[in-house]
Amino acid sequence: MNRVQYIELLDKKYPLCFSSSAGEDIEREFGNVKKFAEVLGDEDGKPFTALNRALEILMDAGRRYCNVAGLECPEPLPCRPADVLMLSDPETMKATIAVIFATLTGGSERTVEAQIKNPEATPDK
C-alpha cells in the first residue's frame, strides 16, 4: 500500500496523501468517500468543484506528510489545481479521478500529468 500518490502539474510532482486529517476534511466536505464518488457521477452534481476540492485536501495532506517525512515537495500551486487541469478532456478527467481514488484507497501508484490550459495566457518566466 502506497502512502503517497503523485499528480504532475506544470512539470512538478505534487504528493497526494489520505491522512486522518484529510479523511476528516473529506467527510466534512462530502459526507464520506462514497458520497464524493456519487457527486462525480451525478449530472446535477458539481464534479469539477468536487475534484478540485478533493485535490486541494489531498495535496495539502501530501505536503504535510512530505514535510514530516523529510521528502521533497514543490512549492504550493499559485492557483487551484483545476485551473491547470484540462478536465473537459475525458482522459484527463478519468486519470484525475483514478489518482484521487488510488490515494483514497491506498492503491497502486498513478501519476497524472497536466500542462497549462492556455500557454498564450500565461506570462513568460
Question: pLDDT (tens digit, 9 = 90+) per residue, 37-82?
Answer: 888 877 666 888 899 999 999 999 999 999 998 988 999 999 999 8
Give the H/E segment covering residue 4: strand 4-9
Instruction: Specify the pLDDT at position 1.
Output: 40
Q: What pTM, to 2 d.p., does this model score?
A: 0.79
Instruction: Specify the pLDDT at position 121.
Output: 52
Separation in Å, CA 39 to CA 32, 52, 99, 106: 11, 12, 17, 21
Residue 111 CA to residue 89 CA, distance in Å, equals: 16
Report residue 123 as a C-alpha cell: 506570462
